[in-house]
Amino acid sequence: MKVPNLDEYSKKYESVQFERKDGILLVTLHTRGKDVVWDFVTDEEVGYMFGDIGNDRENKVIILTGTGDTFIAKENISTDPIDPKIWCNWIYRYAKRLLTNMINIPQPIIAAVNGPATVHGELPLVCDIVLSAENAYWQDRPHFRNGLVASDGVHIVYPMVMGQNRGKYFLLTGQEVSAQEMLNIGAINEVLPKEKLLPRAWELARIIMEKPELTVRNMREAINQELKRRIDNELGLGLMLEGVAAIDYWPTEFK
C-alpha cells in the first residue's frame, strides 16, 4: 500500500490548504482562498482528505481551521429532488466517509474555530481539543430548520457534547449557541480573541509533540472509543433516516 505524501495530496484538493512544520499539520478549509462555501464537491474532498492526512505518518498532530470570518457557515447544496439512487450512491457515501475518516485519524486533532460553525459544526467538536474565537457560535443550519432529518453525525455529536436534552432542543429549534456558552457547558475548551487562536493551537500542538509518538497515538485511540462506537453504530442509520425523509421532501433552497 502506498503511503500518502504531503507533496502529492496537497495538490489533490481544491478546498484545503496545508502547512506542515515539525510534524504539526495545519489544515485550512477554504473556497477559492476565502470563507468555505460547503457543497457536494467539498463534502467529497474533505472526506478523502481526512483519510490521506491520517495515513501520512509524517503528521504527528493536526490543527483544523477555516478561512476568513467563518469556520463553515455558508453552503450551496441545492439540487433537484432526491431519489433513492442519488442518496445511496452519492450523498450517503460521501457523508459517511466524512465523519468516519475523521474519527479514524490516529493523530490528535486540535480545532481552531475561527468563526461561526453552522454547517458541519460537528467536525470541530469531534476534535480532541476545541479552541474557539470569541465571535464564533454553533447552529445546525442545514437540517431540521430546512425540513431535513438532523443526521450527518450531528444527531450523535451534539447531544454527546451538550447533554442529551439540550442537544435535542438545539437540533429541533435551530438554536444559536455562542462560543462562551459552549465553553460554559463544557462542549469546547477555550475561547480566545481571534488573533490568538492559531498561536494557541500551535502552542498546544507542540506540548503534545513532547510526548512519545506511540503514546500520543494510543492516547487518541483510548479517549475516543465511545465516540467511535457511536459513529460506527449510529451514523449509517441516521443518514438512511434522513434519506427516506429527503426523498419525500428536499428543500428548493437552503435558508
Q: What is the percent of the chain where pLDDT is above 90?
A: 93
Three-state helix/strand/coil letters over 148-204: CCCCCCHHHHHHHHHCHHHHHHHHHHCCCEEHHHHHHCCCCCEEECHHHHHHHHHHH
Looking at the predicted structure, is the pLDDT value of residue 27 above 70?
A: yes
Taking only the tens place, the pLDDT of each residue in 98-133 is 999 999 999 999 999 999 999 999 999 999 999 999
pLDDT of residue 255: 75
Calculate mean pLDDT across residues 195-203.
98
Q: What is the pLDDT of residues 171-182, one digit of tens each?
A: 999 999 999 999
Residue 41 is placed in which grid cell?
Answer: 464537491
What pLDDT, on a 0 to 100 scale, did the predictor assign at position 78? 73
- Which residue segments constitute the domains of the chain, with CATH numbers given? 6-248 (3.90.226.10)
| pLDDT at res. 3 | 79
Structure confidence at residue 1 (pLDDT)? 66
Rounded distance between C-alpha atoms, residue 92 and residue 90, angstroms? 6
pLDDT at 31 over 90: yes
Q: Is 136 helix (H, G, I), strand (E, B) or coil?
A: coil
Per-residue confidence (pLDDT) for residue 100, from 0 to 100? 98
Strands 61-65 and 24-29: parallel
CA–CA distance, 120 with 106 (Å, rounded to integer): 21
Report d(CA 225, CA 231) in Å as an integer: 10
Average pLDDT over every residue of 65-69: 98
- Positions marked active-site: 122
Q: What is the pLDDT of residue 43?
A: 94
